[in-house]
Structure 1
Amino acid sequence: MSASAVHKLDNNTTRQTRLAIAGIGLVGLRHAEAIAQLNQAVLVAVVDPSPQGQEAANALGVPCFSDLPEMLASENPDGVIISTPTRLHVEQALTCIRAGTPVMVEKPLATSVEDAMELVAEARAAEVPLLVGHHRRHNPIIRKAHSLIQDGSIGKVRALQVTCWFYKPDGYFDTAPWRKLKGAGPISVNLVHDVDLMRHFCGEVVSVQAQAAPSERGFENEDVASAVLKFDTGAIATVSVSDGVVAPWSWEMTSKEYPVYPNAPESCYLIGGSHGSLSIPDLRLWTHKEERDWWSPISAASMPCERTDPLLNQIEHLVEVIAGTAEPLVSGEEGLRTLRVIEAIQTAALSGETVHLPLPEEGN
């Protein structure tokens, strides 16, 4: 066990970081599984008022609370992971922050930029760590891609193509009806991951144009959308998302990140630069062997990369942040900036107009 990732006690021994999870659905269970695999952390409680929550807590061997304040008072965890429906994120995260408890909130951070700003401001004022669960940044594939881009392996990034297409079965929506509501469509639920990575790779988005189409299943939200994003570096991205298209081109089906999804030997991100291009997640780096010239031969080299579970890496990072030995990789401010882009896509799709965004120095 790494001493840098645990709490020191007075007798110079160490103890595991005590974590609680609010919301023990699909994502919450994955966090619980990750915690169980680590020596640095231990799950001490679940907050979930549903019968399924109680059953899950029993299976995990931890107490189940229906109320977050009650759990905080009873268990006094070192940190809380919030994986409840998005509409509950801000209220629950504020409860943790006001108790002085570090918190990691699943993406998206909030249902609106306004609410997220309140949360980020209060966390900053209280000096309580606020992290956002954009776990893909903890994937070694993304770390390697980011390193290649930063090292100039493809030159200056000029263009990105991002595809996020898959078909969610009816049962996905029936088991959690909130997924049918306005604001819970693939733009906010799925594309938020891809937007976060585009920002991670290329900088800040300064303008957005977008189109969306209503759900063909009759839900309140959209089921397909496309956007054009312009970055402060001058790069331009085209991105398309749908949860009603049968296709292999999504992070879930190409990255081998989560075994429940079948794997397809494809890529979902293409990043084009002035000296080369990179496809992700297969990490194939395309360059000309001689002159940069469309008449010159071009070839690809597969970049070596380790493979570790990003959810495990994310929990390890959370433990280090709680211990004060690391700064958040995806802070509340970072989650807010990504949410600004998501909200801009939704606004642009409704209005048909270009939406301009402030740079971080002009606003969080």
Structure 2
Amino acid sequence: MTTRRCVRIAVAGSGLIGQEHIGRIAGNPETELSGIVDPAPAAREVADRYGVPLFGSLTELFAAQRPDGVILATPNRFHVSGGLECVDAGVPVLVEKPIAETADDAERLVAAAEAAGVPLLVGHHRRHSPLLAEAGRIIGEGGLGAVVAVVGTALFRKPDDYFDVGPWRKQPGGGPILINLIHEADDLRALCGEIVRVQATASNTARGFEVEDTVAMTLTFASGALGTFMLSDAAAAVASWEQTSRENPAYSHADDEDCYLIAGTRGSLGIPTMRLRTYAGDASWWEPFESRTAAVERHDPLAAQLAHFAAVVRGEAEPLVTGWDGLQSLRVVEAVLEAARTGGAVEVPAPPVRTPSARTQPTRTPSAPAASTQN
């Protein structure tokens, strides 16, 4: 039996998400934690706990060692500069989402990585969720017929101390559009293809901060399907991925709630309950549905993302979530911000048509149907 090469990975950033990555790297027999990059004094305890060297910067890391890969779990404002430093060093990098603070900055990083031939992945880890994968398979194989309507919600209540601890969250840029919607935009792109136009209305009535707390959106997909999406971090509800998917045990959850409903010409699918209703015969409201729950074998999406990153580093796979994907999801969010500001419909810039790398053919999961041109 052939033994896979152990991949040495350094993590930049030892905050909450950084420690999630660090723990999984240390617990995977095919990956090795080579070091931690973080100038904060608290990072010393984390590095000592795992018995790895601590570096104050990526420059220090690359002067001392050349890891096989780097995971950037730094604050958003450092994603582009850190990503460019990894690209310059020729080291494959997984950048936490969002890929950048602006689409223009993201485009610089993506173009640099492509020109250098350095793998760039974006940490939209839900793409590695078995729930999203099975939903994508059902939709992509035509199980619902042609998708015509998408209904999505991300309704949850952030506690008051969330804003006391981080006063910047009360200011423009600190609301749920930039912080939370990036996840939903990527999920819906993966399931239903590109979003080409958005309209939005935002309100700050619930809290009265300078930033929005509730947003209503309409979405137009390249396929012609239409969608609505409700987003609020002031809503006492459980209609969000975190509180329905059961993939993050830190949140309470409701097993019988969906956050997405995808409806086609022959059936509909609720996600994440995976309740599937389809017509066996004529598609008519006079006819009964056949109902079932699609079976899903659960696994940890963050652990799956790490295994995939290691496979990309070894040259066994192409990135499932590319830099172009991260850029395109950010473009959707920026379009929502502009639509909410102006009250008009905003076109989302089209992604470029990508061709597979000569290095290897892409490894797809069913969560990315052919409707997406990015992967």
Both structures adopt the same fold (TM-score exceeding 0.5):
yes
Match of 2:118 in 1: 128
Amino acid of the residue matched to residue 192 of structure 2? C
| Alpha-carbon contact 1:2-1:40 (below 8 Å) kept | no
Give the paired residue count: 354
Q: What aligned pairs does 1:1-364 form with structure 2 within 5 A after superposition?
A: 3=3, 6-7=4-5, 16-214=6-204, 216-217=206-207, 219-265=209-255, 266-361=257-352
| Alpha-carbon contact 1:135-1:310 (below 8 Å) kept | yes
Q: 1:275-316: CA deviations, max 9, x gaps?
A: 000000111111234431112222420011110100000000
Q: For the residues of structure 2 that align with 1:257 and 1:263, how far apart are their CA atoms? A: 9
Q: Which moved more, 1:24-33 or 1:343-352?
A: 24-33
Q: In 2 relative to 1, CA 98–81 (structure 1 residues): closer, same or farther, beyond 3 Å?
A: same
Q: For the residues of structure 1 that align with 2:52 and 2:209, how far apart are their CA atoms? A: 36
Q: For the residues of structure 1 that align with 2:304 and 2:90, how far apart are their CA atoms? A: 24
| Alpha-carbon contact 2:195-2:332 (below 8 Å) kept | yes
Give the 3-state SS of the residue equivalent to 1:115 in structure 2: helix
Give the 3-state SS of the residue equivalent to 1:326 in structure 2: coil
| Alpha-carbon contact 2:67-2:91 (below 8 Å) kept | yes
Q: For the residues of structure 2 that align with 1:360 and 1:179, how far apart are their CA atoms? A: 30
Q: For the residues of structure 2 that align with 1:245 and 1:187, how far apart are their CA atoms? A: 15
Give the 3-state SS of the residue equivalent to 1:222 in structure 2: coil
Q: 1:337-363: CA deviations, max 9, x gaps?
A: 111101100111111111112322489
In structure 2, runs of 5+ residues without a counterpart are 355-373
Q: For the residues of structure 2 that align with 1:2 and 1:48, how far apart are their CA atoms? A: 36
Q: Which moved more, 1:293-302 or 1:276-285?
A: 293-302
Q: In 2 relative to 1, CA 81–180 (structure 1 residues): closer, same or farther, beyond 3 Å?
A: farther
After TM superposition, give the deviation of residue 319 of structure 1 in Å.
0.3
After TM superposition, give the deviation of residue 89 of structure 1 in Å.
0.7
Amino acid of the residue matched to residue 148 of structure 1? I
After TM superposition, give the deviation of residue 243 of structure 1 in Å.
1.6
Q: For the residues of structure 2 that align with 1:29 and 1:175, how far apart are their CA atoms? A: 20
Q: Which moved more, 1:38-47 or 1:246-255?
A: 38-47
Identity of paired residues, percent?
48
Q: For the residues of structure 1 that align with 2:107 and 2:64, how far apart are their CA atoms? A: 29
Q: For the residues of structure 1 that align with 2:190 and 2:283, how far apart are their CA atoms? A: 27
Q: For the residues of structure 1 that align with 2:25 and 2:165, how far apart are their CA atoms? A: 25
Give the 3-state SS of the residue equivalent to 2:18 in structure 1: helix
Give the 3-state SS of the residue equivalent to 1:360 in structure 2: coil
Q: For the residues of structure 1 that align with 2:52 and 2:161, how far apart are their CA atoms? A: 28
Amino acid of the residue matched to residue 260 of structure 2? Y
Q: In 2 relative to 1, CA 58–215 (structure 1 residues): closer, same or farther, beyond 3 Å?
A: farther
Q: In 2 relative to 1, CA 57–185 (structure 1 residues): closer, same or farther, beyond 3 Å?
A: farther
Q: In 2 relative to 1, CA 17–249 (structure 1 residues): closer, same or farther, beyond 3 Å?
A: same
Give the 3-state SS of the residue equivalent to 2:249 in structure 1: coil
Q: In 2 relative to 1, CA 166–2 (structure 1 residues): closer, same or farther, beyond 3 Å?
A: farther
Q: For the residues of structure 2 that align with 1:248 and 1:168, how far apart are their CA atoms? A: 12
| Alpha-carbon contact 2:37-2:57 (below 8 Å) kept | yes
Q: Which moved more, 1:238-247 or 1:330-339?
A: 238-247
Q: For the residues of structure 2 that align with 1:181 and 1:51, how far apart are their CA atoms? A: 28
After TM superposition, give the deviation of residue 25 of structure 1 in Å.
1.3
| Alpha-carbon contact 2:324-2:351 (below 8 Å) kept | no
Q: For the residues of structure 1 that align with 2:61 and 2:290, how far apart are their CA atoms? A: 57
Q: For the residues of structure 2 that align with 1:54 and 1:214, how far apart are their CA atoms? A: 40
| Alpha-carbon contact 2:150-2:227 (below 8 Å) kept | yes
Q: Which moved more, 1:222-231 or 1:46-55?
A: 46-55
Q: For the residues of structure 1 that align with 2:165 and 2:175, how far apart are their CA atoms? A: 15
Amino acid of the residue matched to residue 38 of structure 1? N
Amino acid of the residue matched to residue 189 of structure 2? R
Q: In 2 relative to 1, CA 220–118 (structure 1 residues): closer, same or farther, beyond 3 Å?
A: farther
In structure 1, runs of 5+ residues without a counterpart are 8-15
